Structure 1
């Protein structure tokens, strides 16, 4: 089975292929409307066959789109993550321009070899040169450039609001509110006020950016979704089945701990400290839906969010890093590697009934 990270990456790559495929089909239709009843391309004399083009060009577009997606997700998103939007666009546009020119040369040569029996290796350059010096090439390049820009805007927009959120907006999944069961983890940095005072606001923000970046990898690896950032707090959620599978919601917390510990040297050298965090988890029903007019968001509403936040707020009181509600502990299947200890029943603010809360830690070997 594919890991959550690989499933997520495949889900992020596919839309690029779909975008290029759709624009390739549109191009074929526009080309047909321009050429009309002509049976050849005026600039090169190469025969024109709409039935062939409507099959080959979209397939080629799909391949180009998938290649774009692989480059974006596999390489550019890592190399350029700390670069400005403008620098990303310029750098990637240059790379794509080279790829597209090479791609067009290959397609042109293949098309001529397929259609022209009288072309030899010596005179293949004639129609190719005619194509690459004709004004029609400018139109094709502008059209391809528009696809590249749209793809890059999609990439940046997707990263800004979240791939799953953008997909749900397009599909209209939550246009009408839906009730679903989810697990929420409210994760809060320890002693953030003191750290901010010691580092200064600018340096603290730089640390916060590194901190969230380093934690995000574990969220991906354990099938979670980052719902919101609120100051130094991160809210992570799972659909119930995803959070329970292999104890993802609990494993994610300890993977985050390990991820930060591996970066101890980096944090100490840059900021003089290694930030710590605490978290509270709970599950229950929420209503999910689109909200807003000037700025749309997909939000969750329900008591489970308030309860998760209140549970996290008790970590300092009990001097623990992870607290989990009784409801969630009952449906987890934790191995013996974890120690589960009740910290008693607590009446959380906003609730009429007390709830038993458990601290979870790694068992001493």
Structure 2
């Protein structure tokens, strides 16, 4: 269904859909509770919307559209606007903005639902009386509480998704890795050049601010090439792909060069803001890992396998060989590197802590 969309669009759609699901489920609960309250005489029968198929259908479509609207606003716009705010501040500011939006939506949606129920014109006196009676009734306030709960759940989901990562969060909820699983994965260890010198020059706070900008700068390329950030380790990023995704269209290799291009486009900003042009070096290798949830006080999706240690060792050879990107010959054999790439074999290397040697290849763009 989504095969024609870019990886970034697919990721955004996957993040937006849960907003609609949350709103639809909460909408059904609110409708049911109001219906029960109405038939039991808890609320004024004149202001409550009575359930029938057209009303339920309209309500379902309406709240689904509201959920999608909230999701689009959150993923496309507000996430960027409030990126540097704390989690609590994000909840507070976004809740106020969305609550105001919801009031406007209620003012439009309720008269339409009332006109459907009463089978009369939208601007008829009966609809207007029902609407103003609703605004002054307990039903209105129960609706606001329900919508507020939906908003809170959406914002809480958005916050967790942003901090854990959408795929990691889904894996936790679905229990995909609750029991360890073996899988073939490609790993890229990407390390900032001269990081110690940069940190000493900038100081702790400015260096931290720089890293935030730096990581943000590289994220679009990772998304576009279907990578997953496994870990941020100081100034190092570990990116991973399932084998089939990393090999497809040379995603893992193209990701490196896309990250490089995106960083170089921002060099004028970094030079003006921090006084230098950042660059990085990286290594890639693939192999079998065991993937599962681990931790007692804090859960993580964790990979174990020789491939991680090997990739880290290969990355340590970049300076020695004068290469920005080194890959194992075994990975090169799996890829389809045409004439737009230049490869150079550096022979076999005995990696630190490894009994067997490995052939190493440098990769550049022609």
When the two structures are superposed, what TM-score results if normalisation uses the length of structure 1? 0.94
3-state SS in 2 of match to 1:310? helix
Task: Tell whether the 8 Å contact from 2:55 to 2:116 is kept in structure 1 after alignment.
Answer: no
In the aligned structure 2, how far is the partner of 1:121 from the partner of 1:277?
64
3-state SS in 2 of match to 1:2? coil
**Aligned residues, how many?**
362
3-state SS in 2 of match to 1:63? helix
Task: Tell whether the 8 Å contact from 1:43 to 1:131 is kept in structure 2 after alignment.
Answer: no
Q: Which residue in the other structure is 1:354 paired with?
A: 357
Task: Tell whether the 8 Å contact from 1:24 to 1:57 is kept in structure 2 after alignment.
Answer: yes
- Seen in structure 2, the aligned counterparts of structure 1 residues 321 and 24 have a Cα distance that, compared at 3 Å, is same
In the aligned structure 2, how far is the partner of 1:41 from the partner of 1:113?
20
3-state SS in 2 of match to 1:102? helix
Task: Tell whether the 8 Å contact from 1:186 to 1:234 is kept in structure 2 after alignment.
Answer: yes
Q: Which residue in the other structure is 1:304 paired with?
A: 307
In the aligned structure 2, how far is the partner of 1:201 from the partner of 1:4?
35
Q: Which residue in the other structure is 1:90 paired with?
A: 92
In the aligned structure 1, how far is the partner of 2:113 from the partner of 2:193?
63
How many angstroms does 1:294 deviate by? 1.6
Task: Tell whether the 8 Å contact from 2:47 to 2:133 is kept in structure 1 after alignment.
Answer: no
List runs of 5+ in structure 1 lacking aligned partners.
Answer: none
When the two structures are superposed, what TM-score results if normalisation uses the length of structure 2? 0.94
Q: Which residue in the other structure is 1:257 paired with?
A: 260
Task: Tell whether the 8 Å contact from 2:267 to 2:278 is kept in structure 1 after alignment.
Answer: no
In the aligned structure 1, how far is the partner of 2:23 from the partner of 2:67?
5
Write out per-residue CA displacement over residues 182-228 of structure 1, whole angstroms, 9 at most, x where no aligned residue: 11000001111111111111111111111111011110111101000
3-state SS in 1 of match to 2:344? strand
Name which of structure 1's ranges 49-58 and 282-291 shifts more when overlaid on structure 2: 49-58
Q: CA RMSD in A?
A: 1.8
- Seen in structure 2, the aligned counterparts of structure 1 residues 285 and 47 have a Cα distance that, compared at 3 Å, is closer
3-state SS in 1 of match to 2:95? helix
Matched, 1:81 2:83: yes
In the aligned structure 2, how far is the partner of 1:285 from the partner of 1:120?
63
Write out per-residue CA displacement over residues 39-88 of structure 1, whole angstroms, 9 at most, x where no aligned residue: x9726356612544443323322211111111111111122212333332
Name which of structure 1's ranges 120-129 and 1-10 shifts more when overlaid on structure 2: 120-129
Which residue, 326, 331, 334 being the options, matches 2:329? 326
How many angstroms does 1:20 deviate by? 1.3
3-state SS in 2 of match to 1:49? coil
- Seen in structure 2, the aligned counterparts of structure 1 residues 356 and 98 have a Cα distance that, compared at 3 Å, is same
Q: Which residue in the other structure is 2:102 paired with?
A: 100
Name which of structure 1's ranges 23-32 and 156-165 shifts more when overlaid on structure 2: 23-32
3-state SS in 1 of match to 2:179? coil
